[in-house]
Amino acid sequence: MPKRSLRQQMLARRRALRHEEWLMSSRLAQQGFLSLDEYCNAACLALYAPAHNETDTGDILLSSLEAGKKVLYPAICGHEMVLRKVDGLADLSAGRFGIHEPCHTGIDHTAEEADLIVVPGVAFDQDGHRIGYGKGFYDRFLRHPGRKAHLVGLCHDFQLIDGKIPAEGHDIRMEIIVTDRRIIRCGGNRRHPDGPDSHRGGY
């Protein structure tokens, strides 16, 4: 299925979730995420503020702050995305596209500073490929040459498709996908195998 059609289909299905369904799915997915060794070992992680019934991250934020971890959230600056430190949900306010983000007075951080980055998506496949909203902010951000963070896709289980998402050479794969029902280790954390850095391999 073409990316555009799959994006529209998944967004419609996500928006149709009842609040109780969204809440339960989000809780289960976050529990799975918090069980990851990659999370336990991370001193600094990047989360996202959910929009349009995306899987929530509030439990992860609370647990991370209680554990003394540094937590970063994305903010859009022009055509690029940066990360800023957050000490609680009160630090977030509606920004571009209506998505909550840190205030503009914080210090900007780059992808290389995080040990783990939770990446939102409209759809994922079991090889770690992702469909976003089509703006390319995460794609550009994750191409930072110094990035070494584990990449985790967090989503409702119906967003993890059985087929293959059409991938391009610049696409970056998720290493792990976490849903409300399962944890998939994709064996990735690199660009598409036919991409410009395919000679580097991966794990």
Token match 């903010």: residue?
75
| 128 assigned to some structural domain | yes
Q: Could you tell me if 69 and 43 are in contact, meaning their C-beta atoms sit under 8 angstroms apart? A: yes
| 190 assigned to some structural domain | no
Residue range 62-114, pLDDT digits in tens = 999 999 999 999 887 777 788 889 888 777 767 666 677 777 666 777 788 89
Token match 């899987």: residue?
55
pTM of the model: 0.85
Burial class (CB in 10 A: 0-12, 13-18, 19+), 34: middle
- Structural domain total, the chain: 1
Residue 138 in tokens: 């995460």
Residue range 120-176, pLDDT digits in tens = 999 999 999 999 887 778 888 888 777 889 999 999 999 999 988 877 766 789 999
* Domain of residue 135, residue span: 3-183
What is the phi/psi pair of residue 7, to 5°?
-60, -45
| 198 assigned to some structural domain | no
| 196 assigned to some structural domain | no
Task: Check residue 196 and give its pLDDT.
Answer: 31
| 194 assigned to some structural domain | no
| 77 assigned to some structural domain | yes
Task: Check residue 138 and give its pLDDT.
Answer: 82
Question: Where residue 160 sits, what CATH number does that domain have?
Answer: 3.40.50.10420
Those residues whose C-beta lies under 8 Å from the C-beta of residue 12, and which sit 6 or more positions away, are: none
Quick check: 201 pLDDT over 50?
no
Q: Could you tell me if 89 and 58 are in contact, meaning their C-beta atoms sit under 8 angstroms apart? A: yes
| 50 assigned to some structural domain | yes
Burial class (CB in 10 A: 0-12, 13-18, 19+), 52: middle
